[in-house]
Amino acid sequence: MIGRNFSWQLVQCIPTHFEIIGDITDIEPIAVGSAIREVTRLRKQYGRGRWRKLKGIALIRLANGRIRRAELHWYEAHGIGKREIKRKRYMD
């Protein structure tokens, strides 16, 4: 997954109060499997899988309508998908 771009079109993340606009780029793994602190909780909550914590850059629309470039972190497992997308910092 290193260096791949992932296409998401206008995905709404209700708990975090932002929308992802366009593609997530510069995707890099942060941790895989037992290196993830929350892996036990992820398996209980979402199911078994090869969990990865990833980060990437995307344009997001904030609740107030402002569009900003931000670094996002999320968990992902094959067959389960992306979970718990979080905005970590603004890049602009």
Show the domain range for 19. Answer: 6-90
Q: Are 52 and 32 contacting, i.e. CB atoms less than 8 angstroms apart?
A: yes
CA–CA dist 77, 24 (Å, integer): 17
H-type helices in 1-92, by residue range? Answer: 39-46
pLDDT in tens, 36-71: 999 999 999 999 999 999 999 999 999 899 999 999
Would residue 1 count as lying in a domain?
no
How many domains does the chain contain in total?
1
Supply the pTM of this predicted model.
Answer: 0.78
CA atoms of 6 and 11, how far apart (whole Å): 12
Q: Is residue 14 part of a domain?
A: yes
In a domain, 81, yes or no: yes
pLDDT at residue 85 is higher than 60: yes
